[in-house]
Amino acid sequence: MKRVFARAVLAVALVAAVAGPAAQGGGKTPLSPLASVDVVGSGPLAWRSVAVRRFPDRSARVITTFTQFREHFRPRMVLALETRRDADGHPAWYRVEIPGRPNGRSGWIPAASVDLTPVDRWLVVYRGSRKFEFYVDGRLKRTGPVAVGARGMETPIGLFYVQARFVPSQYPILGAFAFETSGYSKLSDWPGGGVVGVHGTNTPWLIGQAVSHGCVRLRNSDVLALRRYVRLGTPVKVVRA
């Protein structure tokens, strides 16, 4: 009788282990406010150029101008944070993030100037606890440790987005793969300096520490896994926790 009971307990334990979420996530996770991202959508600019205005009005002051392509003919991606609708309920204006210093700037562009799609995935970086979480459709897809900016060169807090992605063959310090974000730090290891990148590393023993010039370093295995899912326009949220 005792043997039957023991086998039954073992069977239940094995089923629970198989049914539970994998070590790299995948289970439905209740999202905390820190892990949540509230945006309208992202997508490439559809017009050759567009004025980014202070208010959703064509007479409002121009803050900057977006062109359809960035350097090296990379498409200009836009992250929309808010919608202003017309009398018929259709989107007329989008408030979008403005990449560059100072971080956190935003302005308004006509809705017709961008091909917007809803956001279904995002990356959260916890600067204090030095870890990342990647979500798809509200489910935790992957998590792991990161290295962040050293004291005086801290990784900036805020909501950013992926502007480019590439294999950094000429820059070993960026590891196996790299994502360029719209955020800026005081200084970074990114080519040209300043841009906050999310990338792999050639010094994996430093993962978990505050050692970079502002970039977020991942294990190469993690950044290669994210390569499959992180698209241009994917939000990147850096929090203090």
Say if residue 129 is in the same domain as residue 107. no
Could you give phi then psi for residue 226, rounded to 5 degrees? -70, -25
CATH of the domain at 81: 2.30.30.40
Could you give phi then psi for residue 73, rounded to 5 degrees? 60, 30
Active-site choice (72, 90, 199, 213) = 199
Could you give phi then psi for residue 84, rounded to 5 degrees? -115, 125
Say if residue 109 is in the same domain as residue 170. no
Indicate the SS3 state at residue 176. coil
Active-site choice (72, 90, 213, 215) = 215
pLDDT at 208: 97
In a domain, 188, yes or no: yes
Say if residue 66 is in the same domain as residue 169. no
Residue from 80, 145, 75, 175 nearest 119 by CA: 80
Q: Is 199 one of the catalytic residues?
A: yes
Split into its structural domains, the chain has a count of 2
Say if residue 107 is in the same domain as residue 147. no
> What pLDDT digit, counting tens, does each position of 89-100 carry?
999 999 999 998
Which of 97, 113, 129 marks a domain boundary?
Answer: 113
pLDDT at 10: 38
> What pLDDT digit, counting tens, does each position of 117-141 carry?
999 999 999 999 999 999 999 999 9
Where does the pLDDT of residue 190 fall: very low under 50, low under 70, confident under 90, or very high at 90 and above?
low
